[in-house]
Each structure stands twice: as structure tokens, then as C-alpha cells.
Amino acid sequence: MIFASVSTHGATGTWLDEALELGVPLLLFIGLWWWSTRKEKQRTKAKPVEEAEPPK
């Protein structure tokens, strides 16, 4: 997207229209990126302890 086309559209149209056209997709992409990069939570349940080897 060329900055000149965005700025002329903002000058001729309403800024609410400009915010909806650019802001909503930007927020959507940021939200999807955040959702895809979040880490899985660690489970608080203790794992079973493995049996230790007998001493030699």
C-alpha cells in the first residue's frame, strides 16, 4: 500500500472510515499473531518420580 494513496483517502474521506479500513485489519492480525505465539501453560500436577538406579 502506498502512503500517498492512504493520505489522500484520509484527506477526502472521513478519518473514521480510515481507522476502520486500516485499524481493524491491523488489530485482527496482531490478535491472531498473539494467539498463535502464546505458550501452552505448564500443568501444576507433579510428574511421577522415576525409580533411581541402585548404587553400584
| Residue 6: partners with Cβ closer than 8 Å, 6 or more residues away | 18, 22
Q: pLDDT for 8-56, tens place per residue?
A: 665 666 788 888 888 999 999 999 999 999 877 776 665 555 666 666 6
Q: pLDDT for 27-40, tens place per residue?
A: 999 999 999 998 77
pTM beyond cutoff 0.95: no
Give DSSP secondary structure letters for 1-56: --HHHHHHHHHHS-HHHHHHHHHHHHHHHHHHHHHHHPPPPPP-SPPPPPPPPPP-
Longest dimension (CA), the chain: 85
